[in-house]
């Protein structure tokens, strides 16, 4: 029997604008709202005898909220670009904008049931419900590209069904261009920030994440790569119900990994250690990294003490030359060899040709801070470390050098995004992990077979 919850009104539900013009109109409403807010705020300040600055009128919490709320309603490329900006542009963004936009990393509105049914009809055909004993129309989770529903088939399979929002795939390029233009014209992006590489990568990444057949293939490939690692569990792909816009997977149980905060210290240390060990294997053995740091991608089975890995849409292959450069960068950071670090960072693409020596050293300072857990002798205590604050301060010093700022290549941005997410998770769990020991097998050119 299908689980019909259409009578329940939910404030977290909103139809996804599917057509190009309706999505553009939504951005037009956003622009009008920002302009209206500026006019009202400016009028109030003039009435008080103040001379308002345009930048101050733009960068209000109200305008930042408007941007975040509308991107969350659009979902798809518009929301994903906001997510990338909130994580990757970091301290280059105004604080009022960055703090509120950061909610896009975990906040999306679900599409209403009528729109969901239309998507399923288009992908499975009318009468698809005859294949199911139960199908919950209330999503288990909603993100930028799609939402997940739980179901059970007539033949007894318990599934997690990821359904893509309508119009997402077709609107990727125009969404990213329109949002970037809006943010640039509105002044919410610094003039000196070159978002061109981020624009191109956002489009490429969104096209990959919107291909659920491709994600299913990555999931199957990871299952093969981790066949020798029984401490991990991955869902199986059910090809008979999977299309380009619907991904059917076996339903996984477990608890959110961040809920282990009150587990014994040894258990928290083990879980964080497994994830760091996996990251090193991804980089140096597989040369394939699942780059999305969302904590919802990890769950934990307490009975078997196994980690459940979910969501492989953001999987990214890494060229051997980039992997070798990162190995050199980490190995040289451990011994504090700044010259070798500089050469490795250059090989990755961190320095533009005209970078000054001061800016180069500031970049190396950021790397040294980020590699502190690698350099530490023994288990690094993430819970009692002020490392995030020091990395932030080093990033602020770098971002003040606006004239020489160089947006790192996409490979670097996504890898750092993943590593940063694991740092934050380890800190949340107050975990202690011997990162140096985990990296040691990869410190030389000969990686383990």
**From 88, 211, 269, 292, active-site residue:** 292
Q: How far is the C-alpha of 239 from the C-alpha of 116, rounded, in Å?
A: 20
By three-state DSSP, how is residue 248 classified?
A: strand
Angle at 107 between CA 18 and CA 73, to 5 degrees: 25
Angle at 407 between CA 185 and CA 81, to 5 degrees: 55
**DSSP letter at 259?**
G
Total count of residues recorded for the chain: 449
By three-state DSSP, how is residue 378 classified?
A: coil
Q: Where are the alpha helices (DSSP H) in 226-304?
A: 265-281
Task: Count CA within 13 A, CB hemisphere, residue 305.
Answer: 10
Q: Which residues contact 316 (CB under 8 A, 6 or more apart)?
A: 288, 289, 290, 291, 411, 414
By three-state DSSP, how is residue 353 classified?
A: coil
Q: Specify whether 292 is catalytic.
A: yes
Q: Whose structure tokens read 């919410």? A: 188
Q: Where are the alpha helices (DSSP H) in 48-144?
A: 54-58, 61-74, 76-84, 95-101, 113-124
Query: Tokens in use for 17?
Result: 């604008």
Q: How far is the C-alpha of 145 from the C-alpha of 156, rounded, in Å?
A: 28
Could you give the residue numbers annotated as active site? 292
């Amino acid at each position: 029997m299908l689980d019909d919850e259409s009578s329940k009104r939910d404030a977290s539900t909103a139809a996804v604008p599917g057509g190009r013009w309706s999505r553009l109109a939504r951005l037009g409403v956003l622009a009008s709202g920002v302009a209206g807010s500026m006019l009202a705020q400016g009028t109030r300040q003039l009435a008080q005898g103040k001379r308002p600055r345009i930048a101050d009128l733009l960068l209000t919490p109200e305008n930042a909220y408007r941007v975040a709320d509308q991107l969350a309603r659009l979902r798809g490329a518009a929301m994903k670009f906001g997510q990338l900006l909130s994580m990757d542009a970091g301290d280059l963004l105004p604080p009022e904008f960055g703090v509120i936009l950061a909610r896009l990393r975990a906040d999306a509105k679900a599409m209403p049931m009528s729109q969901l049914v239309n998507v399923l009809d288009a992908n499975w055909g009318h009468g698809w419900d005859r294949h199911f004993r139960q199908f919950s129309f209330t999503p288990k989770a909603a993100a930028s590209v799609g939402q997940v529903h739980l179901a059970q088939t007539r033949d007894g399979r318990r599934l997690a069904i990821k359904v893509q929002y309508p119009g997402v795939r077709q609107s990727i390029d125009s969404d990213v261009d329109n949002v970037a233009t809006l943010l640039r014209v509105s002044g919410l992006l610094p003039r000196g920030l070159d978002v061109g590489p981020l624009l191109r990568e956002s489009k490429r990444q969104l096209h990959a994440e919107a291909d659920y057949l491709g994600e299913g293939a990555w999931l199957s490939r990871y299952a093969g790569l981790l066949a020798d690692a029984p401490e991990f569990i991955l869902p199986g792909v059910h090809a008979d119900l999977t299309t380009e816009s619907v991904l059917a997977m076996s339903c996984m149980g477990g608890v959110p990994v961040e809920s282990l905060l009150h587990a014994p210290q040894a258990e928290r240390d083990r879980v964080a250690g497994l994830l760091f060990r996996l990251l090193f294997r991804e980089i140096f053995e597989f040369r394939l990294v699942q780059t999305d740091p969302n904590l919802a991608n990890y769950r934990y089975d307490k009975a078997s003490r196994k980690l459940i890995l979910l969501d492989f849409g953001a999987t990214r292959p890494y060229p051997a030359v980039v992997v070798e450069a990162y190995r050199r960068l980490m190995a040289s950071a451990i011994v504090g060899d700044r010259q070798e670090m500089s050469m490795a960072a250059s090989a990755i693409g961190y320095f533009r040709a005209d970078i000054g020596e001061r800016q180069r050293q500031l970049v190396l300072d950021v790397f040294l801070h980020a590699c502190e857990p690698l350099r530490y002798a023994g288990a690094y205590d993430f819970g009692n470390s002020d490392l995030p604050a020091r990395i932030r301060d080093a990033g602020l010093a770098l971002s003040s050098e606006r004239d020489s700022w160089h947006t790192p290549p996409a490979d670097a941005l996504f890898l750092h995004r993943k590593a940063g997410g694991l740092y934050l998770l380890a800190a949340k769990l107050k975990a202690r992990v011997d990162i140096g020991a985990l990296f040691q097998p990869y410190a030389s050119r000969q990686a383990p077979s």
